[in-house]
Amino acid sequence: MAQLDGERGPLRRWRALADAWCAAWFWPEGAAPLPPGAWPAFGAALRGEPGGLPPGVEAEWRRTAATVAASERFFHWDLEFPEVFHGERGMPRADAGFDAVLGNPPWAAAGPLTRFSRDSGCYRLQGDGHANLYQLFAERMLALTAPGGRAGMLMPSGLLTDAGCGPLRRHLFDGCDVDAIVSFDNSDGVFPIHRGVRFALLTATTGRTGRGLCLRSGLRDPGVLDDMPDRGVPPGCVRVETPMLIAFGGESRPVPDLRTEVDRAVLARLLAAGPPLESADGWGVHFGRELNATDDRAHFGRTGLPVLEGKQIDPFRARVADAASFVDRRVAARLLRRRTPFDRPRLGYREVASATNRLTLIAAIVPAGVVTTHTIFCLRERLDEEHQWFLCGVFNSYVANYCVRLRGGTHVPAMVIQRLPVPFAVAPDALKSIARLARGLAEAPRAGDAARLQARVARMYALTRDELAHVLSTFPLVDAAERAFALDAFETSGI
């Protein structure tokens, strides 16, 4: 080992080469630069071959690379565990990897690692969104596990739902046989993190075709793990097949928070009722931001077009009179660059919902001559007002809110709304009725209109009485009497 890993040994030489290659992404400011075009010559010198570099430059680059490697603590698995990845003659093993890989990775922003993870080619399952260390660790864990080996992870629920984890989820669900995903709420402070953060335990066998998922969600006490079998599917799991995952969230395959078989049945009913909003076979509509309250604030003043924020959107009604900022019409037109014409009414919804909100999806019609900030997502396409009021009624329904809440979290990005299943071939009477009730609730609410709207949306989705009762039970912050009125209206409308 001393000969292999000594000062002049071949292992030390290859480790220095690997360290320097990694160090190029972490090169400190002020150090003698390492131009990309110089790497072949520097690499040759590190291998002990003639590189043609000036001795002083080579020595400086070697010192900088060694300093960076010591600071970042680069670890090269192939060099540290050669017997795991290579045969006796040095060729890659067909069954390369460890028999078991277990981990509870750090949950934090990737920081300087982001550029390395995106550009180096070492991580190929990372999305374009915000990078987090747990994503990098999850990909590395799967790469280190041998075919037929076992991987076990304790992860934040973002692995199951975040858009940036889409490529990672596809690789995991298609290329691994997942035993089960057991997820916990942190409301009892199991971990010293925010009480609203959820986390999940996942075990899988790599190198096997996935067979769908078994979910056990909403747990709070880790003590229940003591009663779960060492092998096989834990009791109380809800099985979700791959087609349902794709229908629910597209190819990114977010995992719905299904806690009971009734949840699975309701979701199946909703997905069968209509295509996603963005589908060309359905409404074919999309939502997006208009102004940015931070970046565009320098253009705001005391006169001009009212600027609405998310907190000024209530169900069915936009409180334009509460606008605190204004923007010149010509400036707004220049900033928006025709992304969303503000000369017409358009459906908008809150992108952020507080945990104390009765509803997660809150929508209203934004009047013409009003612009919005990034906390409101607005309809891009032109739809006549009746169809917009119909969609406004659907958005503010318990049914649509239930479906959105299956994604978890208090943010409702456009991609979530655009995957919301909404019936398209709606009977004209039903469409007009829901649109009329939604407009009435915005302009002149009458007793019973809210319950009637909820009932008609539930009927449109073909829910049964018991399924609607289950949906209503998931809204504990809504007054029990209000929920009872909706159920009564549903039963009456079925007579």
Length of the chain as a residue count: 495
Residue 161 is encoded by which pair of tokens? 């739902």
Asked if the model's pLDDT at residue 495 lies above 60, the reply is no
For residue 268, count other CB atoms closer than 10 A to its CB. 14
- The mean pLDDT of 119-132, rounded to a whole number, is 85
Angle between helices 385-395 and 398-405 in degrees, nearest 10? 60
pLDDT tens per residue across span 250-282: 999 999 999 999 999 999 999 999 999 999 999
Beta bridge partners of 376: 350
The pair phi, psi for residue 317, each rounded to 5°, is -135, 130
Which residue has better confidence, 114 or 437? Answer: 437
Angstrom distance (rounded) from CA 301 to CA 299: 7
Q: What confidence tens digit (pLDDT) does each residue in 60-91 have?
A: 999 999 999 999 999 999 999 999 999 998 89
Is the predicted pLDDT of residue 309 greater than 80, yes or no?
A: yes
Q: What pLDDT is attached to residue 356?
A: 62
pLDDT computed for residue 348 by the predictor:
97
Helix 261-273, helix 398-405: angle, nearest 10? 110
Give 379-422 as a DSSP string. Answer: E-S---HHHHHHHHHHHTSHHHHHHHHTT-SSB--HHHHHT-B-
What are the structural domains of the chain?
2-79 (no CATH), 91-259 (3.40.50.150), 287-493 (3.90.220.10)
Question: Token pair for residue 391?
Answer: 């969609």
Q: Is the pLDDT of residue 458 over 80?
A: yes
- Return the percentage of the chain with pLDDT > 70, whole number: 99
The 3-class secondary structure across 309-345, one letter per residue, is: CHHHEECEEECHHHCCEEECHHHHHHHHCCCCCCCCC
Map residue 454 onto helix, strand or coil: helix
Mean predicted lDDT score pLDDT of the chain: 92
Residue 68: count of CB within 10 angstroms of its CB: 20
Give ∠ CA 186-201-257 in degrees, rounded to 5.
65
Q: Taking a C-beta distance cutoff of 8 angstroms, is the pair 489, 448 a contact?
A: yes
Gyration radius of the chain over CA positions? 28
Residue 1 has pLDDT above 80, yes or no: no
- pTM for this entry: 0.90
Question: So what's the pLDDT on residue 56?
Answer: 93
